[in-house]
Amino acid sequence: MTTRTGAFRIGFRDALSWKADTEAIARWAKEQSFAFLDLADDGDRKLKKLKELGLGVGAVDLPNRKGMIAADRRKRKDAVAENTAFMKRCIGARIFLTLMLPDDPALERKQNFAFMVESYGELAGALEESEAKLVIEGWPGPGCVCCTPEGYRAFLAECPSDRVGINYDPSHLIRMGIDPLRFLREFADKVLHLHAKDTEIVTENLYEFGHEVPGIYTPPIPYGALSWRYTIPGHGQMRWAEAFRILEESSYSGLVSIELEDARFCDGTAASTQTALRLSGGYLTGC
């Protein structure tokens, strides 16, 4: 399964509301012609099973991310050692994914930024040894140090390695009000992996609640807030065909990984999850 523009291979991330074992998910993925799985947890253990089943491996999450951005130097050193050992165990993995969420979100961003640069600089040798690359997902969680153009620009300037790049996930940019295509035009040459997840801006709620304060009587939308929600590709604001065109022109050769966080499909059942993945894959093959 590939995209129409760029012929990028399509797979999905295994952090699913459909709680099945890795083997069952992988067998279903192969039946549906998905090319690979991203591994969110226990990647070192699951890799072997995917290889046995003949399914590709996409990105593998680093296990200790917050420790990489901790004020305690010993904690940072331990996180670097743990992540280095993990990468060595993940034989065959070529992309590792991280989030730049600090151990203490209350610290000044400049402080956490400095910790981040130090730790990931120390991880660079392990990336070289593993012949792997690191991608940063820009989920704007508590205290996130690298999720905006400013943050990515600053970090990539401090760590100018061809083994460090971006996991492009337009859903996060859209919810923050950042133009996802402008971002892609600036950073296309640093994009090494892609999450296919969209965001719908709920305009009526945007008028009713704005961005800044919670509702009095109205709860946030699951997998969203009051004025936005994550969706499967094609159900939100993103212009996917244009994004793939930009990536094709920049000689992108990576993967397109569906990340399912759409409340309309995340009811915990296999049927809903599989429907969402089939719809997402079908849409992306036409883009």
Q: Is residue 158 part of a domain?
A: yes
Residue 121 has pLDDT above 80, yes or no: yes
pLDDT tens digits, one per residue of 33-51: 999 999 988 888 899 889 8
For residue 49, the model assigns a pLDDT of 86
Decide: 263 and 17 in contact? Cβ < 8 Å: no
pLDDT tens digits, one per residue of 128-174: 988 999 999 999 999 999 999 999 999 999 998 899 999 999 999 99
Q: Is residue 43 part of a domain?
A: yes
Q: Is residue 21 part of a domain?
A: yes
> What is the greatest pairwise CA distance in the chain?
54
Q: Is residue 3 part of a domain?
A: no
Where in the sequence is the domain holding 236, given as residue range(s)?
10-199+231-285
Cα dihedral 68→72→73→74 (10° resolution) = -90
pLDDT tens digits, one per residue of 195-236: 999 999 999 999 999 988 889 999 999 999 999 999 999 999
Q: Is residue 209 part of a domain?
A: no
- Residue 220 sits at φ, ψ, to 5 deg, of -65, 155
pTM for the predicted model, two decimal places: 0.95
Q: Is residue 216 part of a domain?
A: no
Report the chain's mean pLDDT, rounded to a whole number. 95
CATH of the domain at 140: 3.20.20.150
Question: How many domains does the chain fold into?
Answer: 1
Decide: 236 and 174 in contact? Cβ < 8 Å: yes
